[in-house]
Amino acid sequence: MRERLEGTVALVTGASSGIGEAATRALAAEGAKVAVVARRRDRLEALAAEIGGFVVEADITDQAQAVGAVERTVAELGRLDIVVNNAGMMLLGPAETALVEEWERMVAINVQGLLYVSHAAIQPLLAAAQDGPRNVADMVNISSVAGRVARSGSGVYNLTKFGVGAFSDSLRQEFAERHLRVSLVEPGAVATELTDHMRPELRDATRKRFADIERLEAEDIADAIAYIVTRPRRVAINEILIRPTEQAW
Ligand SMILES: NC(=O)c1ccc[n+]([C@@H]2O[C@H](COP(=O)([O-])OP(=O)(O)OC[C@H]3O[C@@H](n4cnc5c(N)ncnc54)[C@H](OP(=O)(O)O)[C@@H]3O)[C@@H](O)[C@H]2O)c1
């Protein structure tokens, strides 16, 4: 059974590319009005024009901008039923030669940005859960296989994504009785821009690891997100781990 999203408002962080862009299309196709949040305004405008969405240009590592993104969405679209905490960054490499600045960037977006948006969204989500059209609200947090399995060379990315998993389950327990569902999605390798931001020598090594497997498409993860938020009110999908079929690790 599937509940469509007409009359609901969703906010997707990191909507300017990859999983966030695909999730935005999937939620809009189910009938949600979507606020698209990221830094690249041109990409957001093209997407919003396609789906009739609301553009919020924001760097969510800045708390004021993250809070402003939530507040502008509620002010402009009237409510907030669904938040997809998707914006993130992966900068892999040995700890021995790592740049601390890269660690800080990952913590800033994967952890702090997600916390700022989540904190600002809790009250509007609880309010949406109390009234129609669905009498339920959703926070979907995008972690990773790296949030379940640590690997050499991935320590800080692992740290951020394990943290997202712990935070999500704590919130899930806190809000269960008030019908705010908190879900965790843990993708394996997905063909997106994620590795583009790594230093070239590290990026090439990472890409080589996945060269022989058929990676997931962003739409495969968007499909899972749409599945989570279209379940009937009584059904909470707590966690979904999705690997490419050929990804054994
Ligand atoms: N691709 C994979 O293999 C994979 C696997 C597991 C988990 N994930 C997770 O999936 C999520 C999405 O990644 P993706 O693969 O779709 O990569 P992507 O195409 O690089 O998307 C990352 C998104 O995050 C946004 N972003 C980055 N910094 C931001 C900031 N400071 N403020 C606001 N938005 C910011 C980017 O937009 P702007 O640059 O325009 O701000 C972009 O829209 C991440 O959390 C990632 O860890 C990806």
Asked whether the predicted pLDDT for residue 125 surpasses 90, the reply is: yes
Task: Choose which residue among 161, 167, 194 to substitute to test ligand 1 binding: the one with the highest number of ligand atoms within 8 A of its C-beta.
Answer: 194
For residue 60, give the nearest of 41, 78, 84, 37 by alpha carbon.
37
Beta carbon of 14 within 6 Å of any ligand 1 atom: yes
Ligand 1 centre to CA of 85 (Å) is 10
pLDDT (0 to 100) of residue 14: 98
Does 37 or 3 have the greater pLDDT score? 37
pLDDT (0 to 100) of residue 225: 98
Beta carbon of 86 within 6 Å of any ligand 1 atom: yes
pLDDT, tens digit (0-9, with 9 covering 90-100), for 143-158: 999 999 999 999 999 9
Asked whether the predicted pLDDT for residue 123 surpasses 90, the reply is: yes
What is the pLDDT of the chain when averaged over all its residues? 97
CB 221 within 8 A of CB 19: yes
Cα–Cα distance measured from residue 51 to residue 71, given in angstroms and rounded to the nearest whole number: 21
- Supply angle C-alpha 56, 135, 53, rounded to 5: 20
Beta carbon of 2 within 6 Å of any ligand 1 atom: no
Cα–Cα distance measured from residue 93 to residue 98, given in angstroms and rounded to the nearest whole number: 6
Amino acid at 125: L
Mean pLDDT, residues 12-32:
98
Asked whether the predicted pLDDT for residue 160 surpasses 90, the reply is: yes
pLDDT (0 to 100) of residue 45: 98
pLDDT (0 to 100) of residue 2: 84
Asked whether the predicted pLDDT for residue 122 surpasses 90, the reply is: yes
φ and ψ at 169, to 5 degrees? -70, -30
Ligand 1 centre to CA of 89 (Å) is 5
Amino acid at 195: T
Neighbours of 126 (CB within 10 A): 15
Ligand 1 centre to CA of 78 (Å) is 27
pTM for the predicted model, two decimal places: 0.98
CB 2 within 8 A of CB 233: no
pLDDT (0 to 100) of residue 72: 98
Beta carbon of 18 within 6 Å of any ligand 1 atom: yes
Ligand 1 centre to CA of 18 (Å) is 7
φ and ψ at 89, to 5 degrees? -145, 145
pLDDT (0 to 100) of residue 159: 98
Query: Considering only CA atoms, which residue is closest to atom 46 of ligand 1?
Result: 88
Cα–Cα distance measured from residue 180 to residue 191, given in angstroms and rounded to the nearest whole number: 31
pLDDT band at 214 (very low <50, low <70, confident <90, very high): very high
Of 55-59, 101-105, 179-183, 205-209, the least confident: 205-209
Of 36-40, 54-58, 198-202, 216-220, the least confident: 198-202
Beta carbon of 147 within 6 Å of any ligand 1 atom: no
Catalytic residue among 54, 116, 157, 167: 157
Asked whether the predicted pLDDT for residue 189 surpasses 90, the reply is: yes
pLDDT (0 to 100) of residue 68: 98
Name the token pair of 150. Answer: 């640590």
Task: Choose which residue among 44, 192, 221, 239 to substitute to test ligand 1 binding: the one with the highest number of ligand atoms within 8 A of its C-beta.
Answer: 192
Beta bridge partners of 12: 36, 84
Beta carbon of 76 within 6 Å of any ligand 1 atom: no
Torsion of CA 68, 69, 75, 80, to 10 degrees: -130
Mean pLDDT, residues 221-240:
98
pLDDT (0 to 100) of residue 132: 82
Q: Is-catalytic flag, 116? A: no
Name the token pair of 91. Answer: 């900068």
Beta carbon of 244 within 6 Å of any ligand 1 atom: no
- Supply angle C-alpha 101, 14, 118, rounded to 5: 85
